[in-house]
Structure 1
Amino acid sequence: MNLFILILSSILCTSFAGRISKESGSEGALVIGGWESGVESYGCSINANKDLPTELRGASAAVHNGNVHVCGTWSQDFESYPDCRVLENGEWIAAPLQQVPKSYHRMNALGDKLISTGGYGVGNDRWLDTVEMFDGEQWEVSEFNLSVARTYHCSVAISDTELIMLGGQTSDGSILLVTLPNIELFEQGKGWTNIGALNPPRYGHACALLDNEIIVSGGSANYQLVEALNLETLEWRKLPNTKLRRWDHSMEVVNGQLQIFGGLWEPFSMEWFDGEEWHVEQLQFDHSYSTTAVLPCK
């Protein structure tokens, strides 16, 4: 009987290892905006008003000094705006605006600053090569523009002064848009250096830093493809595909676990990775054009 209990216990621990790590940690993911502009937390309860004061589509979020900042949006007339909000004591309040109106840009914490790269702008400046920095008081345009204007790229900070940006989409003035292969390193005070290429090029993908690898998922190259870029060797390895197609989605590492949220094809779902395969769960709102951030549980 004791042996049977021991075996059964081992089976249960193995079967539910992913779920236990997902639910028992000290942080969760906040899924912000999208087509319905709803806000929900995943993994644990997070103090955040579920109703945004403005629609936030194509926005980007990052945590600065313990607070989530979310910037950028587009309206149904397809114009981009510089709206920024900060989550303080569970409420969304107005925050300093970025200098350049944009959506589908990428925002990351970089040391004690926020960095915003690229995006889709307004008027004649639709494809942006702009880099902006936020010091806690205001946004300022950096002297270090992107090598190529782009949107639908992804980016991760690998230190307090370094950021890696991957892929994206741009225009060369013709009818057909250009998909970018560029992998570039930003060093604060130095600018951008090309360090490799995506093969094939892609846009609409998501990425996150886990251990010493950048995990890249979905996007235009293959909506379910997941790969990892080793930062020491700059070599790629393939991970199991996601269960569902993912494009213009977001990815976070929560309590050491990879989690993917929303996207144009599957806006009401998320997936989490147990180290061997992906598992699908449902979300409450339509997160077609949403963004995410990781925060401590309430």
Structure 2
Amino acid sequence: MKKYFFLFFVFIPGFTVASDCSLFLENKICEFSPSNLVDSVENSANAADCQAECSRNVNCGSFTWISFSELPPACYLFRDCDKTSECEGECEYSVSGPASLGSPVYPGDCCNQITYDYGCQQNFFNTIAGLPGISDAGVCQYLCQNKKEFPDCEFFLYDTNSLRCFLLSSCHEADFYNNCVSGPDHPSLYLCSGGPQPSTSSSPPPSSTTSSSSTTASSSPTTTTSNSSSNTTTSVDTTTITSTSSTQKPINDTTTSAVSTSTPSSNTAVLIGGSSGVTEVYPCNPNIADQEAILRTGLGAAVLHGDIYYCGGFSEEAETFGYLKSCFKSSKDGWTEIGEMNLARSFFSLNTVGDKLIAAGGVGERGYMDDMISFDGSWSSYGRLSPARNKHCAVAISETEIVFLGGVNDGELDNVEMFSEIQGWTTLPQMTSTRYSHACVVYNGEIIVSGGHSLRADLNIVEALNLSSLEWRSLPSLNKTRSSHTMEVVNGELMVFGGVGGQDSLEILEAEEWILEALEGKHVYHASVTIPYE
């Protein structure tokens, strides 16, 4: 497989001005000061015209072109651009850069950074979103330019056959693809083809007549007056572009702000409920309000929009004995009760998927459960598991996908299945053994599964499913057998907490060894989440 390596924007054959083109700064504004501002031009059509104005002015060394939300676009001429500020407020999109004298002419000299039939290699780590039904490559790039919606987007990859747009945070390698257009977020394809530069907050630009079957290195999108409603879609498609140099097809290559396989640089785990009812925070306490004991086992917990939610479980207290369907949300004063689930349940999964919570399976008064319900302010039906199960684990791998692993009903399960809001159910490679009451988390592009119970014995086995190769591999075993425990990624490290066999301890994976540490309380049949802290 041929690979090319990228520097600055892209470094592949034909990209002779890549480093110079990096002088053009998107959504940055040169310093406004009486000594630095030379002149301004209203109703400037685009950044190319603005650079031309700068080149004609002997006092101008740098320019900033701004598209405003309410006012006409404008061009500002400066002596230099040594200091910059962000494009904020009324500024919707901006480009700053040098005069063309001795520098690339924008965008023309930089348009050869746009490639056809080979482009950025898309993978689990650099993909911000995969958007289906995008009418052309220009619209795909336009979405990448919208930093209010996709602040980390630096590159795009567009499949002209499937009309899928992938927004990427980095581009370190290139690959050959069938019918693709790829490149950095600017210069705009519309400028490169002679069309107008669209505003990043208005409706998407007109669709292109670029052929999906005959795109070549010399082709460029030509604008028409058609405008498809699909341009504004924000749903996520996780089907990847098939590279002609590899038959491997990852199941998930979409990593969004709402679903990230990485964690904040500083975060802490919160252990909730369980047999002891104790809420414990590790490694530090981010000023969580004092809580009453949450005496419920097999509850679920997740974080949505920065708030901790917990639901369900089983209570042995006299006044609430039995399966529970109540849910609570964290607040500065404690917990606030929200809407109940449709059915009481325990030992189910509760995950954040996109902008909603998904509760699935469990056991209740009717036995093993197979329903999935979603919460985005109120509960509603989401789908069905097959088969029904409880004591399973689940992880969200994108804004529209969730993977369910193992569990138990009339027998122990080893199956692994992914549910996609777009494509439905997909069967993935099964675990190496049946297990239930285990824990799982997404970490470095893999689903990590630890402990659990199988064939009448608790386990210390840890294994990982690679989301790109779809192959399982073994990881170092835990020091203790654990079941009904939890697992989180805390400050970039894998940690397991409590459980049968290790209620008052946690383990941290360092290099190839699990390090055992003590917890203050005892935790089993509990739930856990992670939250950031300053």
Give me the TM-score of the superposition, normalised by structure 2: 0.48
Root mean square deviation, CA, Å: 1.7
How far 1:54 sits from its partner (Å)? 4.4
* Aligned counterpart, 1:86: 329
Between the two proteins, the alignment pairs up a number of residues equal to 265
CA shift at 1:258, angstroms? 0.4
Residue among 195, 211, 216 paired with 2:449: 216
Q: Over residues 237-285 of structure 1, what are the superposed CA-to-partner deviations in whole Å (9 max), with x where a residue is unaligned?
A: 1111111111011111112110111112211111111122111111122
4+ runs deviating over 3 angstroms: none
Question: Which of 525, 529, 532 is the aligned partner of 1:289?
Answer: 525
Alignment equivalent of 2:370, drawn from 97, 109, 129: 129
Q: Give the drift of 1:189.
A: 4.6
Determine if contact 1:107/1:114 at 8 Å carries over to the other structure. yes
Q: Which residue does the alignment assign to 2:465?
A: 229
Identify the match of residue 516 of structure 2 among 268, 274, 280.
Answer: 280
Displacement after TM superposition at 1:83 (Å): 2.0
> 1:147 touches 1:192 (CA, 8 Å); kept in 2?
no
Map of 1:53-202 to 2, 5 A cutoff?
A: 54-76=294-316, 79-89=322-332, 91-122=334-365, 125-135=366-376, 137-142=377-382, 144-171=383-410, 178-202=411-435
- Which whole-Å CA distance do the structure 2 matches of 1:138 and 1:56 have between them? 22
Counterparts of 1:47 and 1:191 in 2: how far apart (Å)? Answer: 41
Q: Which stretch of the first structure deviates more once superposed, 186-195 or 287-296?
A: 186-195
Whether the aligned pair in 2 keeps the contact of 1:47 and 1:90 (CA below 8 Å) is no
Alignment counterpart, residue 52 of structure 1, candidates 286, 292, 297: 292
Report which stretch shifted further, 257-266 or 192-201. 192-201
Q: Are residues 90 and 266 of structure 1, via their aligned partners in 2, closer, same or farther at CA, if it must alter by over 3 Å?
A: farther
Task: Kindly state the Cα deviation for residue 45 of structure 1 after the two structures are TM-superposed.
Answer: 1.3
Shift, 1:51, TM fit: 2.8
Deviation at 1:155, TM superposition (A): 0.8
> For 2:312, what is the secondary structure of its paired residue?
strand
Q: Match of 1:47, as an amino acid? A: N
d(CA) in 1 for partners of 2:474, 2:290: 36
**In structure 2, do the counterparts of structure 1 residues 216 and 107 end up closer, same or farther at CA, with 3 Å as the change threshold?**
same
CA contact (8 A) 1:30 1:46 kept: no
In structure 2, how many angstroms separate the alpha carbons of the residues matched to 1:70 and 1:216?
A: 22
Report percent identity of matched pairs: 38
Where do 5+ consecutive residues of structure 2 fail to align?
Answer: 1-263
Residue 481 of structure 2 corresponds to residue 238 of structure 1? no
Q: Which amino acid aligns with 2:386?
A: S
| Preserved CA contact (<8 Å) 1:40 1:50 | no
- Which one has a larger percent strand, Structure 1 or Structure 2? 1
Q: Which structure carries more relative contact order (alpha carbon 8 Å, separation 6+)?
A: 1
Local SS of the residue matching 1:234: coil
| 8 Å CA contact 2:431, 2:472 repeated in 1 | no
Q: TM-score, normalised by structure 1?
A: 0.84
Aligned to 1:175: none
Q: Is the 8 A contact 2:290 2:334 kept in 1?
A: no
Q: How far apart in 1 are the matches of 2:378 and 2:423? A: 21
